[in-house]
Amino acid sequence: MRKLVTTMAVMLLATTAAFAQTREVIDDAGRTVQIPEKPQRIIAMHEALIALPLIELGFDVIGVYGRADDGASIYDVDFIKSVFGDDPSLQIGGIGPVGDIDLEKLRALKPDLIVGMGRQLAQSEILSAIAPVYLQTTMAGSESGFSIEEQLAKAFGRTAVFDVKRASYLERVEEVRASLPEDPRGKTYLAIIVFDQISAVRDVSGAIQAIRDLGYEPYDWANRVTNEPAKSRGFAVPLSSEEFALLDPDLLVIMNSYMSADHSEGGIRARLDAIAPGWSRFMRAAKEDQIVFLNSAEVATPTIRSALHTLAAFEEWGR
């Protein structure tokens, strides 16, 4: 009898513990998902937009799209290395090529949570057989700065970690603003990235968060170009080189494509000269030398660390 009671008590406790270890959340796709209370092994379905914010929040990201088995990026840009440095603990495994996930490899990593992007519904149905899949919206148009990281922190119970990091970051903002030659508050900025064409950088990145927190206001470029670009187009939206030269922000922030091997000021200027010849003679910000050059691989992710890289570049420019 005693054995029976003990067994029942153990079973009851185990069941209670099992329930206590998971909780129900509604993801950004409106799905109700049972996720672990404290996720230990996460697979991220996008490196820059999902994996990096999770790593910054202290989660153990064990697999990501676009990585080889040895952790090397199969693309020209390695965002993890660019943003967090060459940290051996961040050797994250791959889950197969983009578009053809290796389900066997993914399962072998034994994830307890998979975090995908808002529209990866078809994939999530397949992946749910391996681990719960939480879909996080990353480009719906309402995100800005490092809001994705803030939302992930809230969803997975790491708000305190996020708040500490943000507080430290805001102190750094004050420090850098004080070091600038003049108070940036009220001045306008235009951030561009140079791919095959010039593109205006939208809101989702640590770079834009830092620039705005310093006090710069977005230059209203959308209403000053001939073709008003579509909304909700993600990280950047193309501008014609002619339209670009007509814009008149107080500060110009320029970065080269993340795929580019050259992020130096000379390299970026040369690329921009090839696309928009004479831009530096037309634009007021260029004539007044109000230009900050950034490394897009460091600053383009929606993380606090990317925002800190941006502040470092502004501090350097202020000197």
Q: Which residues bind another protein (CB under 8 A)?
A: 30, 67-69, 74, 94, 96-105, 107-108, 117-123, 125-126, 129, 137-141, 230, 232-235
CB closer to another protein out of 130 and 286: 130
Sign of CA dihedral 143, 148, 154, 160: negative
Instruction: Report CA 45 to chain centroid distance, whole Å.
Output: 13
Query: How many helices and strands, by DSSP H and E, does the chain display?
Result: 14, 13
CB closer to another protein out of 155 and 214: 155
Q: How far apart are CA 7 and CA 26, in angstroms?
A: 35
CB closer to another protein out of 11 and 72: 72
CB closer to another protein out of 114 and 176: 114
Q: Which amino acid makes up residue 57?
A: L
Distances (CA, A) of 34 to 44, 50, 112, 129: 17, 19, 11, 13
DSSP of 78-112: -HHHHHH-S-GGG-PEE--STTS--HHHHHHT--S
| Three-state DSSP state, 114 | strand
CB closer to another protein out of 34 and 128: 128
Secondary-structure percent of the chain, ordered helix, strand, coil, rounded to 5? 45, 20, 40
Least CB distance to another protein at residue 89 (A): 21
Least CB distance to another protein at residue 265 (A): 28
Q: Are 110 and 41 in contact (CB under 8 A)?
A: yes
Q: How far apart are CA 69 and CA 117, in angstroms?
A: 23
Least CB distance to another protein at residue 248 (A): 28
DSSP-assigned letter for residue 47:
I
Least CB distance to another protein at residue 94 (A): 5
Residue 207: CB partners within 8 Å, gap ≥ 6?
A: 191, 201, 253, 255, 294, 299, 300, 306, 307, 309, 310
CB closer to another protein out of 77 and 252: 77
CB closer to another protein out of 28 and 250: 28
Least CB distance to another protein at residue 7 (A): 24
Least CB distance to another protein at residue 302 (A): 13
How long is the chain? 319
Residue 6: CB partners within 8 Å, gap ≥ 6?
A: none
Least CB distance to another protein at residue 232 (A): 5
CB closer to another protein out of 23 and 41: 41
Least CB distance to another protein at residue 48 (A): 11
